[in-house]
Amino acid sequence: MLYFKSLLLTILVPGAVVVYVPYVILRLARPFTFQGWDIPQIAAVLLVATGLGILLHCSGMLAWVGRGTLAPFDPPERLVVRGLYRYMRNPMYVGVLIMLLGEALFFESLALLWYAVIWFGVINVVVVAYEEPTLRGDFGESYDRYCRTVHRWVPTLR
């Protein structure tokens, strides 16, 4: 049941950020007519696939290792420091950002690029003001030690 719930939340929450909002932005910004595959579109598909892989990996780690989901109302019971979380504290958000940048590139849309930048700014505030204090309260010294050894956004090379 946990894995189903995790998958459902992974589809709904990031799905809204990566699919629904960009769809609305594109509809408002300009009609998009597909002109065929060129280098930007091929690179964009690779970015989106990479971001999706990161997102699915991290969601799986939260469920499998942490025994929770990405949702604040059903957080992991254990601190996850395996997989991509060994190298970066927020790889799931980075995966979503990579997908948003891929979409901006695919559609060659400045509006989607601005959306990605604004979304990342908001997420940074949420992480610093809410998520990190909550995790510090939940996991104490082990989270503090994790923060000292692993960067928030840029991979830590070990």
Taken in order 102, 87, 158, 124, the sign of the CA dihedral is positive
Q: Which residue has the higher pLDDT, 74 or 61?
A: 61
Res. 67: pLDDT tops 80: no
Among 63-77, 84-98, 106-120, 134-148, the least confident range: 63-77
Mean pLDDT, all residues of the chain: 88
Closest C-alpha to 17, from 92, 73, 84, 76: 92
Domain ranges within the chain, ordered by starting residue: 2-31+49-149
Tell me what pLDDT residue 65 has: 78
Res. 37: pLDDT tops 80: yes
Terminal-to-terminal C-alpha distance of the chain: 35
Q: Cα dist. 55→48, 65, 102, 149 in Å?
A: 10, 15, 14, 22
pTM given for the model: 0.89
Whole-number percent of the chain with pLDDT over 90: 61
Helix (H) or strand (E) holding 112: helix 110-126
State the Cα–Cα distance between residues 103 and 96, nearest whole angstrom: 11
Q: What is the pLDDT of residues 106-155, one digit of tens each?
A: 999 999 999 999 999 999 999 999 999 999 999 999 999 999 999 999 99
